[in-house]
Amino acid sequence: TAYDPWFLSQMADQVACEEALTDTPLDETLLLRAKRFGLSDKRVARLTGRTEGEVKALRRSFGIVPSFHFVDTCAGEFRAATPYFYSTWGEQDEGEPVGGHPVAILASGPNRIGQGLEFDTCCTLASLAWRSEGRRTVIVNSNPETVSTDYNVSDRLYIEPLTPEHVKAVLEKEGIRDVVVQLGGQTPLNMARALTEWGASIVGTSLESLEDAEDRGRFAQLIKRLGLRQPDNRMAGTPSEVAAAAAEIGYPVLMRPSYVIGGKNMFIAYSRQELDQFLARGIVFDREHPVLVDKFLEDAFEYDLDALCDGTNVYVAGILEHIEAAGIHSGDSTCVFPVYKSTPEITREMIDAAVKIARDMQVKGFLNIQFAAKDGLLYVLEVNPRASRTIPFISKASGVNLVRAAVRIWDGRSLEEQGLTANGYGEGRCITQWAVKEAVFSFDRFTAVDPLLGPEMRSTGEVMGMGATVGEAFAKSQAASGTML
């Protein structure tokens, strides 16, 4: 296998543990062994034919609860001022709760295509903003190789898997109820309901509003209720329904699964044959998490709008116009701020739609909306009530620390009090006239990745160029990205 024998023995032990769970009655010794091997309650439940709740109750009845040890960052030579904690099982717990009514920030975990350093930047800036206001912060992240896990960013760091089970254990340990899920991309958002049902208080936008945007069916109803325009679409919970919807709408169609980021598993089909290729991927979807089948808008212009809202006042931080046509993921597109070809009418319509959506959803914090314009008509493609990957870019280009402004909203300070809005509305400006965001690709390293861009994200990073003209900003962005001009 070319694997080191040590790793092979660890994997063999893991397999043996799982086989024991399927063949042996679940007692205290076996359950403790499973937890020490890192198996979640959900995995143990699947292997033993129980529910996750039953496994959790049995584990607690045995007194099997996680204990937390700290990583001594000073190797025993000095006292670690900000210890990093990790969970283990059957050991003595180390450390006391940080105290002082802290807030938990759920970070983004491993950097990957679709969820990279932009979200980690947001988590870092939020923690620093809260600490400057005198409030303690606890960051939960499974990736120690990030800025948010530096010793001076938070009051306490837990290096833990970003799952409901592990996050709830941290919240219990620290006695925390306030949890931020808007900053770390899709991973924290997917835990919002489980944490709310447990008793956590989601900071900012309510769970109902988050799910209105994340669930494709509820999103379509939201846009229809507000009288906004969206591409012709149908909901589909089975492969046959997908095929029927595509036939009814007419090709080309765009498939949008729910609760994803980076355009994961999105697909444009120009024919029934290509649709069958999408269905052959084996993507899991059902009536609870259906696929939205959209009419794909060919040769349309696409825009990203980032805004802040305190529930009433709306600050449109910036509108980015994509150079590429609609259909290329926003993370892969070259974006210009402010818009450079949009008509004043389309720009005004985007702003009006953003204000209407933000106020209707009672957004408190970030709002990202993706639009497309074709033949003079504006369509709403997506609404994301969370920090988008363009927040660091807009913050630098406009000179406004949007994350700090969001933190102040969550602490009860309106946008009017922060001086960002007047009479309910405010708008950001580029400090150097023009700014361009360019994607960076790693096709030379990921040789198996299809270099043909589409709705599923491919880029691994981004750069920006700023200048007094669009051409100057664009040239700088190309030079920074390594593109040979």
Q: Are residues 330 and 442 in the same domain?
A: yes
pLDDT value, residue 353: 97
For residue 137, tell me if it sits in a domain.
yes
Q: Are residues 167 and 267 in the same domain?
A: no
CA atoms of 353 and 345, how far apart (whole Å)? 12
Q: How many domains does the chain have?
A: 4
Q: Are residues 175 and 321 in the same domain?
A: no
pLDDT value, residue 367: 96
Whole-model pTM?
0.90
Which of these three, 32, 47, 64, is where a domain ends? 64
pLDDT value, residue 263: 54
Which of these three, 64, 90, 112, is where a domain ends? 64
For residue 366, tell me if it sits in a domain.
yes
- Non-local (6+) Cβ contacts of 479 within 8 A are 465, 485
Tell me the CA distances in angstroms from 69 to 217, 230, 246, one per residue in order.
Answer: 44, 51, 53
- On the 0-12 / 13-18 / 19+ scale of CB atoms within 10 A, 426 is buried
Regions in the chain scoring below 70 on pLDDT: 75, 80-82, 258-263, 284-288, 484-485
For residue 471, tell me if it sits in a domain.
yes
For residue 213, tell me if it sits in a domain.
no
Structural domain span for residue 95: 67-203
CATH number of the domain that residue 387 is part of: 3.30.470.20
Q: Are residues 381 and 396 in the same domain?
A: yes
CATH number of the domain that residue 193 is part of: 3.40.50.20
For residue 223, tell me if it sits in a domain.
no
Neighbours of 61 (CB within 10 A): 9
For residue 58, tell me if it sits in a domain.
yes
Q: Are residues 262 and 310 in the same domain?
A: no
CATH number of the domain that residue 242 is part of: 3.30.1490.20
For residue 95, tell me if it sits in a domain.
yes
For residue 211, tell me if it sits in a domain.
no
Q: Are residues 438 and 324 in the same domain?
A: yes
Angle between helical axes of 239-249 and 272-279 (0-180°, round to 10): 150
